[in-house]
A = this chain, B = another copy of it.
Amino acid sequence: MNKKLEEIINNNRKYVQEGLVASYIPELAKANKDHLAVHIFDVNCNENYFGDVDVKFTIQSVSKVITLICALLDKGEDQVFEKVGTEPSSDAFNSIARLETRASHIPLNPFINAGAIVTTALINGDNGYEKFERVRNLIRKMADNDSIDVNYNVYNSEKLTGNTNRALAYYLKGAGIICDGVEDILDAYFKLCSLEVTARDIAKIASVLANKGVAPWSNERIIGVDHTRIVLAIMTTCGLYDSSGNFAVKVGMPSKSGVGGCIMSVAPKKMGVCVFGPALDQSGNSMAGKMVLEEVSKELDLSIF
């Protein structure tokens, strides 16, 4: 299969030229847009990969999946979905308009920025740092990698330039959706976005979701079956921002993208897949990554549809 992945990567390398690296966070703008990698970790612990798999990148919005899982663990389904919806958004990932125009003012879903700020606030902990640590620890556990930690250059860059996220958080606070100190919550949020990972880490996290919440390498249950199902459903409808629907048609795997250039995809009962390519499309999803996943999904028949 590594041979197959090599072919797929080479077929789709051309697409790195069509995207743009994220520029609104200056530190991310330094990414090398030529990078392209795919890593597969299946529920029997077999691994296959090709490309720039050793390059580290920041997890960015893929962390929103684990923040949601952690919020579900800490507060339960009812409390979580009282504060954040489960509906896809046809607006940009950092959009604020809909918070105002919806009667309830709650974010449409936990995978847009406003929603993830809410789920971060829902994590147990007396302060932002404790909340951050809880989610980071869960990420480490799901990736089976205790060395995962914050890239402080990216974190500082996010913190410095994160004014639209501040606007979202203060709006949510003004509307009574979050109560904590905004900077404290945002600090946890920015740190979680800045966690540095490899494609292998993300593929292993995805493999836990593919394996109904049980770590394939230890058979330890990390997430309940119900929560796993909820998370996969929301990844399917909301995982690629305002092109989630198109991605469902083309790829058909529950996935979550991040502006660091990674997409985490799940083939239920089969495998976790990570693609990485920092050049992004207009919605903020890895341009070449989407194309690679489309081919991987077809070759390995991974679509859930």
Q: Which of A's residues lie within 8 Å of B, judged by CB?
A: 85-90, 95-101, 108-109, 161, 163-164, 166-171, 173-175, 182, 228-230, 232-234, 236-238, 242-246, 248-249, 252, 254, 268, 303-305
- Contact in complex: A305, B171 (CB < 8 Å): no
Q: A168-B167, A174-B167 are in contact. Are A234 and B245 (CB under 8 A)?
A: yes
Q: How far is the CA of A149 from the CA of B170 in the complex (A)?
A: 28
Q: Lowest 7 CB-CB distances: which A-B pairs, in order?
A: A163-B174, A88-B88, A167-B171, A164-B174, A97-B97, A166-B170, A87-B245
Tell me the number of copies of this protein. 4
Contacts of A230 in B (CB 8 A): 249, 305
Q: Per a CB cutoff under 8 Å, which of B96, B100, B237, B254 touches A245?
A: B237
- Contact in complex: B254, A234 (CB < 8 Å): no
Contacts of A168 in B (CB 8 A): 167
Q: A96-B100, A171-B167 are in contact. Are A242 and B87 (CB under 8 A)?
A: yes
Q: How far is the CA of A96 from the CA of B248 in the complex (A)?
A: 25
Q: How far is the CA of A168 from the CA of B100 in the complex (A)?
A: 12
Q: How far is the CA of A236 from the CA of B109 in the complex (A)?
A: 16
Q: Per a CB cutoff under 8 Å, which of B109, B163, B174, B248 touches A173?
A: B163
Most buried by B among A86, A242, A248: A248
Q: How far is the CA of A175 from the CA of B164 in the complex (A)?
A: 8
- Contact in complex: A249, B166 (CB < 8 Å): no
Main secondary structure of the interface of A (DSSP, over half): helix
Q: Per a CB cutoff under 8 Å, which of B88, B100, B161, B170 touches A90?
A: B88
- Contact in complex: B163, A85 (CB < 8 Å): no
Beyond the given A88-B237, A164-B175, A166-B170, please list 6 additional residue pairs across the A-B interface where CB-CB is below 8 A. Answer: A87-B246, A88-B244, A167-B171, A167-B174, A233-B303, A304-B304
Contacts of A174 in B (CB 8 A): 161, 163-164, 166-167
Q: A88-B88, A90-B90 are in contact. Are A109 and B254 (CB under 8 A)?
A: no
**Closest chain B residue to A237 by CB distance?**
B245
**Closest chain B residue to A229 by CB distance?**
B305
Q: A90-B90, A97-B101, A101-B97 are in contact. Are A245 and B85 (CB under 8 A)?
A: yes
**Closest chain B residue to A246 by CB distance?**
B86
- Contact in complex: B88, A232 (CB < 8 Å): no
**Closest chain B residue to A89 by CB distance?**
B90
**Closest chain B residue to A88 by CB distance?**
B88
A244 to chain B, nearest CB (A): 6
Q: How far is the CA of A239 from the CA of B170 in the complex (A)?
A: 26
Q: How far is the CA of A244 from the CA of B85 in the complex (A)?
A: 11
Contacts of A163 in B (CB 8 A): 170-171, 173-174, 182
Contacts of A87 in B (CB 8 A): 88, 90, 242-246
- Contact in complex: A252, B229 (CB < 8 Å): yes
